[in-house]
Structures are given as structure tokens and as C-alpha cells.
């Protein structure tokens, strides 16, 4: 279904009042030929094309000047082998509802990823993760369609080139790829992942249901409901530093929160840095650093895209000056022509 001059206010979790020239609602795979035609029309008219899932990890910096594809493909298929469960899940399925489905059916391994907002098709793009579990650890394969040629391709876990909050789907190589489904591989011989943060207190004999419940409680306590306060979850990535930089930080800030990452590398808690830069509650226009979780920027109800951009830039600058650590945004920035960056957008906004 194709619509013109559509509002995106209800399709982005920040709740920003922006629009798009055209939107295509994709609910069934039999619409793909029609979609490919719409994409080629947009390309021939030199208009950008954007694939939108749940709109929960995105910041529209201004009105979008092209075609947005809203993915609402649905369906979950379960296949069992002796050792594994395989879940083939359509891209438009709600991620948290998938975790609920798995937990209720005694399919374990997703419980640490409860209450992450968004849809399944966005999970491999961002390589989502929480409480010691990353999407790449459970991904078997990803099915995509080339929106120019109509060719269907299945990528293996290795071919997805996963790393921290990154995948091949963020590259120019995959600029015309739309994820239609993912297949998850979950071991029947399950072992709990509860060595991260508050989950440690659950002990060795913990069940998947207990982890699920605890994660939900933690996230509800710390993170604002997107239906009440507009936000995109964790706005910044946890920065990764080497031993030398960490050593320098610890000399001045011995209580800095960090976790081992890879050999010779450590992940700093961005929320700790923002909190100890005394930025909780800092506000620009209608945008605010959340009082309960410093990693979340919120729309109090009347924020403009410029408010959020200026607030993000201020947080970035203050943290860099105080700790010598440069924060990178986890949220995907979109301007009128497509994917952009905070640096580019703050320059544009301040020159207007």
C-alpha cells in the first residue's frame, strides 16, 4: 500500500513531528514486485529510499525527501532437531513478543534480550545485545531481497560480518537490501548467561524465566516507556578503549564502570560517564537527558529534531572534555536524503 505526504510522528519512537514524501506498507511478501517498482520509480526520480522497522532506534533530523518502506511482515516457524530449536521469524515481528513466545514455549536463549524495542528485521542490522548476550551468538542466517533486482539472498552468520552494534547491513554494499526474515539457532542444552550486572545475584541454578523476569524489571525501572516519553533507548554506544586509556582513566576516576571486551580492550559504561559528567536532567528545548538513565535522551512532548541534536552534541562535548572519551551514537540519524551523522547534522542545524 502506497501513501503520499505521510506523517511519521507515530512511526518513530521519539515522536518527532516529521513527514515523508511517500510510504509503502509491506505486510506480505507477494507485495514485493510492487515494492520493487516503487523503489525503482523513486531511484529514477533521484529520491532516497529508507527501510523502517519499529522506528525505535532512529532519529529523524528533518522531513524525509523520498520513499519509506514500513516493514510489517509477520510469521514465526519453529523447527526442532535433537540439539537445537530453529526459529524462522519474519522481519516485521515485534522483538520482545518473540522473546515472550520463546520463553513461554521453553525455548531458552533469548531471555537476556527481553524488552529491547523494535522489530526482528532490525536485530541483525544493529546486532542488538544486552546483559551479556549479542544477536550474533544466536543468528543462524538472514534472508534479504535486493530492492533493485528483486533477487533473494540468504546470508550466513559469518557473511553478516557482525561486530559490536554493527553488521554488513550498515554498509553501502547492502544499501538496497531489505531483510525479510531471520533464522535463530538456540541450543536445547541451555546454559544461563547471568554474569552481567544485576543478573549475578540470581545464582547458578537460575531459570530462563527468572532471567526474563529480572531483565524486564530492570529495563522497566531504568528505561522510560516509549509510549509515554518519546525516546530511542540507549542513545550512545558503550565506548571501547585500550589498556593504556583505561589505566589513565582509573588514575583519576578509580570508580569508572568498565567491562572486559576483547583481548587488550575494555568497554566503558557510557551511562556512567554521562551521569558523572552531571548531565542527568540537562535539557535543551523539549529534549532532556533522562533522570533515571543517563544513556537515554527523551522528548518531553514538544521537542524538535534540532532540540535532540543539540542535546546529543552537548552530551558528547561534555563527556569528551571531562573524560577524554568520544561517544558515538547508537541511534541511526536520518536527514532528508538518508543516513547521516551527528557531526554533519549539528553543522547543518547551526548554519541554518
Domain count, the chain: 3
- Which is the catalytic residue, given 13, 181, 234, 304? 234
Last residue of a domain, one of 169, 195, 218: 218
Last residue of a domain, one of 169, 201, 218: 218
Non-local CB neighbours of 50 within 8 Å, separated by 6+ positions: 20, 64, 66, 67, 68, 69, 334, 338
Whole-number Å distance between alpha carbons of 188 and 166: 27
pLDDT tens, residue by residue, 73-131? 999 999 999 999 999 999 999 999 999 999 999 999 999 999 998 999 999 999 999 98
- Which is the catalytic residue, given 108, 165, 219, 316? 165
Last residue of a domain, one of 218, 241, 260: 218
Beta strand spans in 115-264 (E):
129-130, 133-134, 139-146, 152-156, 177-187, 230-234, 240-242, 258-260
User: Is 234 in the active site?
Assistant: yes
User: Is 304 in the active site?
Assistant: no
- Which is the catalytic residue, given 62, 93, 136, 330? 330
- Kindly report the CATH number assigned to the domain that includes residue 156: 3.30.465.10
Residue 254, domain extent: 224-351
Residue 283, pLDDT above cutoff 90: yes
Q: Sheet containing 230-234: give its strands across.
A: 230-234, 296-299, 287-289, 283-284
User: Is 217 in the active site?
Assistant: no
- Kindly report the CATH number assigned to the domain that includes residue 39: 3.30.43.10
Note the pTM of the prediction, 2 decimals: 0.86
pLDDT tens, residue by residue, 181-195? 999 999 999 999 888
Residue 222, pLDDT above cutoff 90: no
Whether 324 and 201 share a structural domain: no
pLDDT over 90, % of the chain: 83
The H-or-E segment that residue 86 falls in is strand 84-90
Amino acid at each position: 500500500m502506497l501513501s503520499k505526504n505521510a506523517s511519521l510522528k507515530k512511526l518513530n519512537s521519539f515522536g518527532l513531528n516529521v513527514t515523508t514524501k511517500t510510504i509503502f506498507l509491506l505486510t506480505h511478501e507477494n507485495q514485493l514486485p510492487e515494492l520493487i517498482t516503487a523503489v525503482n520509480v523513486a531511484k529514477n526520480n533521484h529520491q532516497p529510499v529508507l527501510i523502517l522497522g519499529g522506528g525505535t532506534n532512529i532519529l529523524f533530523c528533518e522531513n524525509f525527501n523520498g520513499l519509506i518502506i514500513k516493514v510489517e511482515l509477520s510469521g514465526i516457524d519453529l523447527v526442532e532437531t535433537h540439539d537445537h530449536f530453529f526459529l524462522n521469524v519474519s522481519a516485521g515481528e515485534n522483538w520482545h513478543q518473540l522473546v515472550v513466545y520463546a520463553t513461554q514455549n521453553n525455548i531458552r536463549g533469548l531471555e537476556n534480550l527481553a524488552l529491547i524495542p523494535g522489530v526482528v528485521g532490525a536485530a541483525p542490522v544493529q546486532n542488538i545485545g544486552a546483559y551479556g548476550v549479542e544477536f550474533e551468538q544466536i543468528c543462524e542466517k538472514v534472508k534479504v531481497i535486493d530492492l533493485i533486482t528483486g533477487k533473494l539472498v540468504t546470508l550466513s552468520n559469518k557473511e553478516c560480518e557482525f561486530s559490536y552494534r554493527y553488521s554488513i547491513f550498515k554498509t553501502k554494499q547492502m544499501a538496497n537490501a531489505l531483510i525479510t526474515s531471520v533464522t535463530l539457532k538456540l541450543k536445547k542444552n541451555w546454559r544461563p548467561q547471568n554474569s552481567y550486572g544485576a543478573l549475578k545475584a540470581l545464582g547458578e541454578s537460575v531459570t530462563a524465566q527468572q532471567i526474563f523476569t529480572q531483565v524486564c524489571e530492570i529495563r522497566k525501572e531504568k528505561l522510560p516507556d516509549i509510549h509515554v516519553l518519546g525516546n530511542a533507548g540507549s542513545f550512545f554506544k558503550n565506548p571501547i578503549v585500550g589498556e593504556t586509556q583505561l589505566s589513565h582513566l582509573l588514575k583519576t576516576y578509580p570508580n569508572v564502570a568498565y567491562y572486559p571486551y576483547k583481548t587488550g580492550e575494555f568497554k566503558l559504561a557510557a551511562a556512567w560517564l554521562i551521569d558523572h559528567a552531571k548531565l542527568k536532567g540537562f535539557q535543551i528545548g523539549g529534549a532532556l537527558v533522562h533522570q533515571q538513565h543517563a544513556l537515554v535522551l527523551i522528548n518531553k512532548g514538544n521537542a524538535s529534531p534540532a532540540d535532540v541534536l543539540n542535546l546529543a552534541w552537548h552530551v558528547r562535548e561534555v563527556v569528551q572534555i571531562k573524560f577524554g572519551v568520544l561517544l558515538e551514537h547508537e541511534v541511526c540519524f536520518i536527514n532528508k536524503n538518508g543516513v547521516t551523522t551527528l557531526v554533519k547534522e549539528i553543522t547543518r542545524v547551526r548554519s541554518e
